[in-house]
Structure 1
Amino acid sequence: MPSPSPSPLRIVIVAPESLSPEPHDVDAWWEAERSRSLRIGLLEAGYNIVAVLPVDVFLPDRLAQIQPDMIVVDAESQARDTLEHVVMATRDARRPIVLFTDDEDTSHVRDAIAAGVTAYVVAGLASERVKPVLDIAMARFEHEERLRTELAQARNQLSERKVIERAKGILMKRQAIGEEEAYARLRKTAMDKGLKLAEVAQRIVDVSDLLG
């Protein structure tokens, strides 16, 4: 029996909601055409556009409610301001962010990537190339998240080792025992109480700091 195909990515587009600018506004007309082409490309590639949200004070709450898989920023020329709002809105729940913009001034691309933007695409992208760009952006995001998790785990392990070493030192000094005995007592206490070794060590350190 073939496995079910994966559900399409749920995408939120952050952009001006209107695709019908004033006829005399040439710049707005071109932006609307680019935005329309982007949305067509997303739909043709099989993505699920669950919402188009404006940049306003309600953006963080709306994103938290919708929980999209990816955020596509369809920015006008003021891309920097839009990005700041989107990055702030996703700082507590990271998601891949792909920016499509008509701003050819790429002097702040580095800052945008550093702030959390996964892919930065200047206008001119054909609709059939939208999917490869988003696929790469998702793969890059997942890779970076794995690295972020591994780094956090490594830091946590280092911190735990430091606490354990300090707790061993306290036991060795106060109970006049060797390092192996101090470690054995820490381990036995952890097993008896159903705690992690680092948790027992932290309690010993906390009590030692309290008593001086």
Structure 2
Amino acid sequence: MRSKANNDDAITSAGLSLRIVVVNTVIQSEDELHEDSQAQLARSRALRIGLLQAGYNIIAVIPGDIYMSERITQLQPDMIIIDAESDSRDVLEHMVMLTRDAPRPIVLFTEDGSQTNMAAAMEAGVSAYVVAGLQSERIKPVLDVAMARFNADQKLRSELSDTKAKLQERKTIERAKGLLMERHHLSENEAYQKMRKQAMEKNLKLVDLAQRMLDVADLLGG
């Protein structure tokens, strides 16, 4: 699986370098010649033509079936486009689970204008929800906006994760410092300086030293 750093580099590149997989959620047969099927075929064709005209690299067009997740894992695309005639909740759920560890922008083109389904899709992690109107000239701006939204969301998630990690480190250090203060009757500053000195001597980060102190205390029964 490609690293997150490599994935980030790929998704910030120009459209030509983007490796796109199109997921078609409507399974069709050549015998289906009624009006709805013809309209869906024309819609899907317009989407692919628009992507190619905009310079995007379609590496595969796959059905939204039980093998979809396996194919996505093998293909490792930079962006996933879902071509759906109507509600594609099952496909979205599988897609969101699949991209949880390897986030990718997901763009949904559909005929379903339900506000409820739109809100659910955006909440699930879809970067752009486009109802009808598949003119070729619209596709690149839509994908550009989806990419920008995805990158902004990933940046926010990264910042939140960093903040949580720093808060957790601070709590660990504070617990270890409190332990020293209680056991050795030290002031807060004295306990901190003692920990800092030990960390330097052992060539450890302060938080790592603090965690070791807490682990030893747990083993010794508090």
Return the TM-score normalized by structure 2: 0.86
Contact residue 8 and residue 47 of structure 1 kept, 8 A:
yes
Structure 2 partner of 1:47? 56
Separation (CA, whole Å) in 1 of partners of 2:32 and 2:183: 83
Separation (CA, whole Å) in 1 of partners of 2:209 and 2:171: 13
Separation (CA, whole Å) in 2 of partners of 1:191 and 1:59: 51
Separation (CA, whole Å) in 2 of partners of 1:16 and 1:83: 10
Structure 1 partner of 2:46? 37
Separation (CA, whole Å) in 2 of partners of 1:122 and 1:203: 55
Distance 1:11 1:17, change over 3 A: farther
Structure 2 partner of 1:64? 73
Match of 1:28 among 22, 32, 37: 37
Separation (CA, whole Å) in 2 of partners of 1:164 and 1:47: 49
Deviations along 1:115-143, one digit per CA (max 9) or x if unpaired, are 11111001123111100000000011001
Distance 1:28 1:194, change over 3 A: farther
Contact residue 19 and residue 36 of structure 1 kept, 8 A:
no
Contact residue 16 and residue 55 of structure 2 kept, 8 A:
no
Instruction: Show the 5 A alignment for 1:10-159.
Output: 10-15=19-24, 21-22=30-31, 24-159=33-168
Secondary structure of the 1:94 match is coil
Deviations along 1:166-185, one digit per CA (max 9) or x if unpaired, are 10010111112221121122
Query: Which stretches in structure 2 are left out of the alignment for 5+ residues?
Result: 1-12
Contact residue 101 and residue 122 of structure 1 kept, 8 A:
yes
Contact residue 127 and residue 149 of structure 2 kept, 8 A:
yes
Distance 1:61 1:187, change over 3 A: farther
In the TM superposition, what is the alpha-carbon distance from 1:85 to its structure 2 partner? 2.2
Match of 2:195 among 180, 186, 206: 186
AA matched with 1:98: V
The count of corresponding residues between Structure 1 and Structure 2 is 209
In the TM superposition, what is the alpha-carbon distance from 1:82 to its structure 2 partner? 2.2
Contact residue 22 and residue 29 of structure 1 kept, 8 A:
no
Deviations along 1:21-50, one digit per CA (max 9) or x if unpaired, are 435322111111001000000000000001
Distance 1:6 1:43, change over 3 A: closer
AA matched with 1:72: I
Structure 2 partner of 1:202? 211
In the TM superposition, what is the alpha-carbon distance from 1:76 to its structure 2 partner? 2.2
Contact residue 31 and residue 102 of structure 1 kept, 8 A:
no
Query: Which stretches in structure 1 are left out of the alignment for 5+ residues?
Result: none
Deviations along 1:149-204, one digit per CA (max 9) or x if unpaired, are 00000001001101101100101111122211211222222222232211111111
Greater Cα shift, 62-71 or 166-175: 62-71
Separation (CA, whole Å) in 2 of partners of 1:79 and 1:67: 21
Contact residue 11 and residue 68 of structure 1 kept, 8 A:
yes
Separation (CA, whole Å) in 1 of partners of 2:171 and 2:88: 45
